[in-house]
Structure 1
Amino acid sequence: MVMGSSTIEKTMLTSFLIGGFWDRWIANGIPETTVYELRQRVNSLEDWIRILQKHADVYEQRAVCNLNQHLVEEAENFYRLAGMHYNLIQWMFPETGDQKRGWYQRCKDMHEQADRLVKDEIMNVTIQVEGNNCYGRIRVSERLKGCVIIINPIDSSKEELVKYEGYFAGMGFVTVSFDGPGQGETYAFNQYKATRQRWDLFVDAVIDFTALQFPGLHLYLFGTCLGGAWTIQGSSHPKVCRTVSVSPVIDGDTRVPDYFQERLLSIIDDSKSGLLLRMESFDYVCPILLVHGRKDTIVQGDYIYDLYTKLPMDKRLIQYVDEGHGCNYKIDAILKAAGDWYLSDTR
């Protein structure tokens, strides 16, 4: 029996019944044609793997074909697409093991092929938290206007959000993205689970590491969902200049789907402590841009407004009337607004 099989079944059922399940994956690169096939033909984990692997193979072949024709940008995009499909396979396994690690490695392989095709320098790096390796990516663009640290949602990986790093790199920012405790490569290969204390240590470690690597650049934070909450936590760090937080999930009236709650039990070491931050006071945080979708069913609007009122005066709130949690279909506009917010830093 596959570890976490009941959670896998519940996740697949949710993906079949609820269209909003797919918003994040579509926004981050999974084509709607793949989504349609998964929703129509998946009856088992084997179906899920078979369909995604089939599409990944096609995209890898297209990448090779385009590379042979010296169409480098197109080849990069197809390698990224193949990687996203492998990422969605490994993501389905809530608990780490040989299968999750194997599919994750295929995801990494595709992104490494794509990394070789970009002009920017891309480095794989590690930091240590409590003696455990946490794995990250750094992308250095040709123009250096600042450095954006991307804090990913708890059930995401750095590979899922490569679109973000590409956008910020195009604006002239260095990007730094790590898998923290319970996330991505750090969990899959090291079995290092999450707690609130470990995430507190992790966020500080990422900021300190980045400040040492790029001492002449202003540091900015960007995060969504639970990652958005931890960017607010990181905003109190003296080396952070500005922050963007999208749909931050902080302790309060949150409504998390059942399948997601079960997935969290696999990656959290102390389920009683959870991962939600308790924002009781803001003695100091840097300027923060909050982004909220008015149709968010996980983070309620009243809660966001209460959070906003507690922030210092240098702040901004962007709301999208038709967006849900994560504002996935406005991500291009959000990334642009984030870049403008960072560049408005006059220090």
Structure 2
Amino acid sequence: MTTIDKTLLTASLFEGFWDRWIVHGVSYHDLAKLRHSIITKEHWFKTWSELAEEKYTMAESIKKVGLVEQAEFIYRTAALYYQLNQWLIPEHGGEKLDWLKQSLRVVKKADQLSDYKTEYVEFPIDEHRYYGRVRIPNNPKGVIIIINPIDSTKEELFSYEMDFVEKNYIVVSFDGPGQGETYTRHGLKATRVCWERFVDMVIEYSSNTFPAQDIFLFGTSSGAAWAIYGSSNKKVSKVVAVSPAFRNEEIQMPDYFMERMFAVSDEEIIPDYAQINLQGPVLLVHGKKDVMVKDEDIYGLFDNLPSGKILLKYEEEGHCCNYRLPEIRTKAMEWFQGKWGVKGEF
């Protein structure tokens, strides 16, 4: 079986496969159109592209009658559905790039309707180009850098971006090595060294561009691991790390996922926490039903974090605490502002 075949089989058999996409904006109603039939690559592409086109047409229509805010959201949903098509394909370029460009085109339509300024940024690191987006409110409270999981793009996590910018945070989000435009356009694979340079440079860019603002990091899964790495940077004020990934050979990942990882990286890319000079306060978030991150790994990491640390636990949540993410983002912003957070566990 190919990687795509294994991905489609997993999508057909396991409800949990869809949690990530549901919390990022896929509707249950739309998902039902795919799930109630045998999923093939062609059917996947056809279903999500048709649904994306429906959403796009709907957004165009309601924009014309002045429902701008609603139109913006529906454009972003349409772009997410195109993301599902590019995401299915592990290899960079070609068809994957075509679907990604479709998504980016619709994202820009949404950005044009937004009350918040959007800047599209590219910068070089070691002869490679990295692609990012920056959302800027009128009276910012600080800068939140979103560090995305290795298997996600900056556009997929639009709900995070919207929550933060609507609360007057500048939002910086880049596709790192092995991710999104950075990978799909140029085939840049992920390595630990590349990721270290990338995180360092995004922090440096944010500090130089917005020197008057405090810098905060927010990451989930492998993105949370790299957010913790970023806490070693003195320019970072606070870090939120949701379900940070660990190097743990005892954890068995699904075949389709491992093969997708091999497509974008030839090595283990999770940082070694023991080698990080941990400095800044970290809000660590853990779902007690997480089968990808062991309790003892989380507690061991928490014990080694510096002062100001907090451990927030959710008894009923799994990896990334998907269905509590809106609450977690709200708590994160309150913590950034110093509204709560006595040292300890919650």
Q: TM-score, normalised by structure 1?
A: 0.95
Q: Is the 8 A contact 2:229 2:278 kept in 1?
A: no
For 1:59, the equivalent position in structure 2 comes to 55
**One-letter amino acid of the structure 2 residue matched with residue 29 of structure 1:** G
Q: Is the 8 A contact 1:196 1:276 kept in 2?
A: yes
Q: Is the 8 A contact 2:143 2:172 kept in 1?
A: yes
**Count, aligned residues:** 339
C-alpha displacement of 1:220: 0.3
Matched, 1:331 2:319: no
C-alpha displacement of 1:250: 2.0
For 2:343, the equivalent position in structure 1 comes to none
**One-letter amino acid of the structure 2 residue matched with residue 334 of structure 1:** I
- Give the distance between the partners of 2:156 and 2:195, measured in 1 at CA: 20
Matched, 1:218 2:214: yes
Change (3 A) 1:265 1:281: closer
Q: Is the 8 A contact 1:127 1:134 kept in 2?
A: yes
Matches within 5 A, 1:86-235: 86-235=82-231
Matched, 1:258 2:255: yes
C-alpha displacement of 1:238: 1.0
C-alpha displacement of 1:313: 2.3
Q: Is the 8 A contact 2:12 2:39 kept in 1?
A: no
Same amino acid, percent of matched pairs: 40
Deviation string 1:150-185 (CA, Å, 9 cap, x unpaired) is 000001000001111110111110000000110011
**One-letter amino acid of the structure 2 residue matched with residue 162 of structure 1:** F
Q: Is the 8 A contact 1:281 1:310 kept in 2?
A: no
**One-letter amino acid of the structure 2 residue matched with residue 104 of structure 1:** L
Structure 1: segments with no counterpart, 5+ residues: none
Deviation string 1:236-273 (CA, Å, 9 cap, x unpaired) is 011000000000002235332211100011101xx2x3
Q: Is the 8 A contact 1:255 1:297 kept in 2?
A: no
- Give the distance between the partners of 1:149 and 1:193, measured in 2 at CA: 21
Q: Is the 8 A contact 1:42 1:48 kept in 2?
A: no
- Give the distance between the partners of 1:126 and 1:319, measured in 2 at CA: 37
SS state at 2:154 partner: coil
Change (3 A) 1:169 1:91: same
Matched, 1:321 2:315: yes
Structure 2: segments with no counterpart, 5+ residues: 341-346
**One-letter amino acid of the structure 2 residue matched with residue 116 of structure 1:** Q
Between 1:305-314 and 1:148-157, the stretch displaced more is 305-314
Change (3 A) 1:323 1:154: same
- Give the distance between the partners of 1:231 and 1:38, measured in 2 at CA: 35
For 1:80, the equivalent position in structure 2 comes to 76
Between 1:227-236 and 1:279-288, the stretch displaced more is 279-288
- Give the distance between the partners of 1:326 and 1:222, measured in 2 at CA: 12
SS state at 2:238 partner: strand
- Give the distance between the partners of 1:345 and 1:221, measured in 2 at CA: 17
Q: Is the 8 A contact 2:92 2:186 kept in 1?
A: no
Deviation string 1:40-86 (CA, Å, 9 cap, x unpaired) is 22431000000101111110011011011010011101101100000
> Root-mean-square deviation (CA), in Å?
1.4
**One-letter amino acid of the structure 2 residue matched with residue 50 of structure 1:** K
SS state at 1:137 partner: strand
Q: Is the 8 A contact 1:282 1:310 kept in 2?
A: no
